[in-house]
Amino acid sequence: GQQLNQSPQSMFIQEGEDVSMNCTSSSIFNTWLWYKQEPGEGPVLLIALYKAGELTSNGRLTAQFGITRKDSFLNISASIPSDVGIYFCAGQLDSNYQLIWGAGTKLIIKP
Amino acid sequence: DSGVTQTPKHLITATGQRVTLRCSPRSGDLSVYWYQQSLDQGLQFLIQYYNGEERAKGNILERFSAQQFPDLHSELNLSSLELGDSALYFCASSVAGSYEQYFGPGTRLTVT
């Protein structure tokens, strides 16, 4: 089936650092969604993107819909301890109305 | 709080048993989705219902079934449970025409 490659799989960062993660595919997407999941809880929608090239922010988070429509990026600036969790991307294929999910990026803050 | 509710929060049962998980979508949402998340794994899409009708099927086992009722709440039935069915089960909902899914808090199923 269709796949999204989400990277990195995990990140160890210092508080205050900027963070970047991305999702890529060989397929074209119409919509990109970014979610955050904290342990034992349901994923929470952070940002939704609908147009190629679109750049959208939500506080310290910024996400971009890649120009080729095959990728998306999420950046977190000046990370803080409450940023820890798993970040998932999800994309809606041009050819199918279903969402395809990335495997997640686990963000861990170094003590 | 996403507005999606799921019950029960925790469920412990034995192999071979059958359980029912319940989900109430956000007010006004017609679509309901079910996902399975095993320990430290990603989200596996199981099934989607839209306004009472099955809309899409993912990697749902034959031992699992779901339905959406006229009041739009949904139930996921898991039967002949195996140890490997232990997981978090999430329900999500969305408004008609939107891909933005809003997740409930999940049901943690433990099969012993």
- pLDDT 10s per residue in chain A (111 long)? 568 999 999 999 999 999 999 999 999 999 999 999 998 899 999 999 999 999 999 999 999 999 999 999 999 999 999 999 999 999 998 766 678 999 999 999 887
User: Between chains, do B102 and A33 touch, taking CB under 8 Å as contact?
Assistant: no
The one-character DSSP state at A83 is G
- What is the identity of the amino acid at A84? V
Closest by Cβ to B56, choosing from A42, A44, A98: A98
Residue in this structure with the two tokens 């469920």, named with its chain if needed: B11
Question: Which of B7, B99, B110 should be substituted to probe chain A, the one whose Cβ sees the most A Cβ atoms within 10 Å?
Answer: B99
CB B81 within 8 A of CB B19: yes
Q: At B57, list the tokens.
A: 């099927």
Nearest CA-CA distance, residue A31 and chain B, Å: 8
Distance from first CA to last CA of chain A, Å, rounded?
Answer: 39
Q: At A20, list the tokens.
A: 């970047």
A44 part of contact set with chain B, CB < 8 Å: yes
Closest by Cβ to A88, choosing from B43, B56, B105: B43
What is the per-residue pLDDT for A95? Answer: 66
Task: Identify which of B2, B93, B89 has the alpha carbon closest to the alpha carbon of residue B46.
Answer: B89
Task: Identify which of B30, B68, B65, B61 has the alpha carbon closest to the alpha carbon of residue B44.
Answer: B61
Smallest CA–CA distance from A101 into chain B, residue: B43
Contacts of A48 in chain B (CB under 8 A): 99-100
What is the per-residue pLDDT for B78? Answer: 98
Q: Would you say the C-alpha torsion A78, B37, A29, A51 has a positive or negative sign? A: negative
Residue B72: which region, alpha, beta or left (left: phi > 0; alpha: psi -120 to 50)?
Answer: left
Residues of chain B with pLDDT under 50: none
The torsion angles phi and psi of B80, rounded to 5 degrees, stand at 45, 50
What is the per-residue pLDDT for B35? Answer: 97
Helix H or strand E encompassing A31: strand A29-37
